[in-house]
Chains A and B, each alone.
Chain A
Amino acid sequence: MDKGEKDKYELENRNENSINYQAPVMSSDWQFGGANLTTAGMSLVPSGNPLAIGSSCASASVADSFGSNLWEHPSNSQNLGFCGINVQNGASSSNAMGIGKSTLTSLRSGVDRPFDMGWNAASSMLKGGFFLPNTTGILPQSLSQFPADSAFIERAARFSSFNGGTFSDMVIPFGMPESMGLYTGGMGLMRGPEDMFAANGMKSVSGVESQKIKLNVTEATRDACLQVENRAKKSPGNDRRNGSLLRANEEAKQGIGGSGNESDEAEFSGHDGGQDEPSSLDGAGGEPSAKGLSLKKRKRSLQDAEIDQAKGGQPSTEAAKDGAENQQKGDQKQTTSVNKTTGKQLSPASHPPKEEYIHVRARRGQATNSHSLAERVRREKISERMKFLQDIVPGCSKVTGKAVMLDEIINYVQSLQRQVEFLSMKLATVNPRLDFNIEGLLAKDIIQSRAGPSSTLGFSPDLSVGYPSLHPSQPGLFQAALPVTGSNTGVIHRSLSSQFTSLTGGLKESNQLSNPWEDELHNVVQMNYGTSAPSDDLNGLNHLEIHK
């Protein structure tokens, strides 16, 4: 789109200006250098143009002088021994600047290097080169402005949506070198499609395509935003994969360049493939992204499957399968015939990505009946639940097999219920010495206060790992898992003593109060240990209590 291109140029100018503004020192040195240039240039150049350079250097604002120097310098380049340099194309002018810099470095020293880097950066932005990884020093400052501009993001996404992985990297406002490298890689590729479209003479089609791409932009923004945290964690690892994805996308793009519809789906499936991979086993992050993606995939044709496989046939497709195991609405689609034909393209080791209710693909060498597909999906869901329960129920990590696991789970639930009964019996026998209300509030404070560091017992990490995926809204329970039963006494002791000191206002009685509490708590420990023996599954806990 011309508007997009214009905006690109505007942004590039802005980028140049930003670089300029952020490097006032450099430009001032440039001015000095210009002054030196005048002196040196006069020796080199017979014409009086360097005087113009010097005057323009000395005058005006930083950016203007810089810009004017930019345009004037090539005119003098011939004087400096250059020839055949186009002024119209910014890229070539920056090239000239680059070359010119090399001569100027002979005149000046030290300051040119950041300049060169800056101009190299600009040239890379313009030409789509990959100079950037060398020059990440300056760029993060300027590029960090970009993600803030959502309109720019959309436009950038329009062209870079071919690169599913890099888009979300662009959204991240981090100054991470890898992501910046990918960012400019993505921006470089923005040039690619434009050139391609221009070359194919598809200006009219590109207008249509860009409209279709707009649909994907919002999806991409949403999905990318959903995956920002995943990206942040995994962007170093994404480099290689997304780099290869870029190249694959480019090749695929050129292959598909003819039909707009296909490329539209290609973008999206490429986007999907790019996004599915890094969201390896992060359940929370993978769920919304997969959900958003699959909701949009409802109307895709079979071509989507081919393209998706061609692009997404990267090793870590199990991640997509994991992300696919979510509750989603949609129709179940059978692409088994497509799978058979495109199965040859894939490596035998990779499993095609499976999604629920929309796109269930049969794996190689497996039955393709719709019933068996649904059954397999259910089985996988059930096994996932079993694994989760294995994490929750203590002592089940070494147990394999579903029947034994279920037995363990049943025993555990029974033991918990018995524990509740026993505790209620105990509460029935307790005679509260003080009024319930006040002490109830106190107890509530105790109960609500975080357990101390003593709660980290042997298998509490397992439990805390198991919880987040199930109930992320209740983090307080994580460290309050089963083993806390062993740590209650320590916690209560500490919190009680603290509470009593605050209650009694630091009277001397508090000291006397805390001492009897200690004795009583020791008694309580022994009592707990003795009375909780009957339950089988509590033996492990009791051992832990001993160790405490």
Chain B
Amino acid sequence: MNKYNPPRMNPSSLRSRFATRFLRSLSKINAKKPTASSSSPTEIFRRYRRIKVAADKSMAYSVRSRRTWSRAMLWKLRTRPCCRRSVKTSTIVRKTRHEKQNKNTTTTTGEDGVVFGVEADELRELVPGGEAMDLYNLLDETAHYIKCLTTQVQVMKKIADFYSP
């Protein structure tokens, strides 16, 4: 019989790190699910939340603290309130964001000659930890964030395809 050895990728690459962590967390999540209530939508929703958090967390841990967005994401995940407290913090978050929008428009235009205005703010919202960065670092973080997101999507897609019926 012929042995097929797939060429191994770099074991310390972002993708492999994320994959191992995510699979571990996935197995943990699936281990504690009772089979009876697995099909109820609430249970599925809860699992979805947990899986999403697990995905974000494993991605942020794979990047460690090298990137601002990963640090911000880790901090966000650590101080993530449980469902009960989420209402309060979300309002606070919304208010500060509103304040920041007024502020950021002035700072972005003043930094460089090109007016970026609203788009930069939107980008800051999207990228975790982007509120406190100037435009250049923001673009830098965005590039890395995009790369990590594509890794995440790819790995999760493969896992989903693997387990789909």
Contacts and interface: CB of A to CB of B under 8 A. Distances in A.
Contacts of A474: 10, 13-15
Contact of B161 (A375, A393, A420, A488): A488
Contact of B27 (A431, A436, A480): A436
B72 interface: no
B142 to A, nearest CB: 6
A412 B153 CA distance: 13
A424 B126 contact: no
A477 interface: yes
B136 A378 contact: yes
Range, interface on chain A: 35 or more
A13 B143 CA distance: 57
Contact of A436 (B4, B23, B144, B154): B23
Nearest to B152: A420
A420 B139 contact: no
B140 A392 contact: no
A382 B120 CA distance: 13
Interface string A390-434: 001100000000110011011011101101110111111111110
Contacts of B123: 406, 409-410, 413
A388 B20 CA distance: 29
B119 A416 contact: no
Contacts of B9: 448-450, 476
Interface stretch (A40-48, A85-93, A291-299, A439-447): A439-447
Contacts of A524: 161, 164
B75 interface: no
A414 B55 CA distance: 16
A502 to B, nearest CB: 6
A386 B23 CA distance: 34
Contacts of B146: 389, 392-393, 409, 412-413, 416
A297 B8 CA distance: 44
A419 B153 contact: yes
A424 B52 contact: yes
Interface in A466-499: 467, 470-471, 474-477, 480-482, 484-485, 488-489, 492, 495-496, 498-499
B26 A436 contact: yes
A436 B159 CA distance: 11
B152 to A, nearest CB: 6
B115 to A, nearest CB: 8
A449 B26 CA distance: 20
Contacts of A407: 119
B80 interface: no
Interface string A96-116: 000000000000000000000
